[in-house]
Amino acid sequence: MTIEYLHTIICVTIRKPGDHYMSILGIGCDVEEVDRFNLDKDADKTFLNRIFTPLEQAYCFSFSSPAPHLAGRFCAKEAVIKAFSQASMKIPEYHHIEILNGPSGVPFVSDSGIFEDMGKTINIHISISHCASYAMAVATVSSRDEAKK
């Protein structure tokens, strides 16, 4: 029995009509030095506004040390751009990729702006980490298909 045949049997067995499952279309990652993001809320407004949405800036500047959070967000945006590029999708502007945090802190790409319609057909998953010196993030973009009936 081939692996492909075994895989088909397992999928047919566990997928029910109406189930949603995903295929990974692209993956991206990025790492940045935190020092680059030691920015001033007012003096660096032009750069900040080009990259980060008002909600993202409010979140990052709510910390006594905003730089790791800004750097992590920047990494997540770059990771999403790489994932989109790998999936041969149109590359969004940095400030169109809004990274927010859920109640438990889990980061996600908000479905505001250009992602509002896309959200019905794709899923974006991201993960962010930072220490004093470096920040990194990974992102995947996956299709959101309904299993065939």
| Closest to ligand COA by CB, 65 or 143 | 65
Q: Does the protein bind ligand COA through residue 9 (CB under 6 A)?
A: no
Q: Does the protein bind ligand COA through residue 106 (CB under 6 A)?
A: yes
Residue 85, burial from CB neighbour count under 10 angstroms (0-12, 13-18, 19+): middle
Q: Report the nearest approach of ligand COA to the CB of residue 53 (Å).
A: 14
Q: Does the protein bind ligand COA through residue 107 (CB under 6 A)?
A: yes
- Binding mask 63-92 toward ligand COA (x if CB under 6 A, else -) reads ------x--x--------------------
Q: Report the nearest approach of ligand COA to the CB of residue 143 (Å).
A: 23
Round to whole Å and give the CA distance between 40 and 119.
33
Q: Are 115 and 121 in contact (CB under 8 A)?
A: no
Which of 65, 129, 133, 143 forms a contact with ligand COA (CB under 6 A)?
129
Q: Are 24 and 142 in contact (CB under 8 A)?
A: yes
Q: Tokens standing for 56? A: 């993202």
Q: Are 27 and 87 in contact (CB under 8 A)?
A: no
Which of 80, 128, 138, 141 forms a contact with ligand COA (CB under 6 A)?
128
Round to whole Å and give the CA distance between 78 and 94.
8
Q: Does the protein bind ligand COA through residue 104 (CB under 6 A)?
A: yes
What SS3 state is found at 130? strand
Q: Does the protein bind ligand COA through residue 58 (CB under 6 A)?
A: no
Binding interface with ligand COA (CB under 6 A): 69, 72, 101, 104-107, 128-130
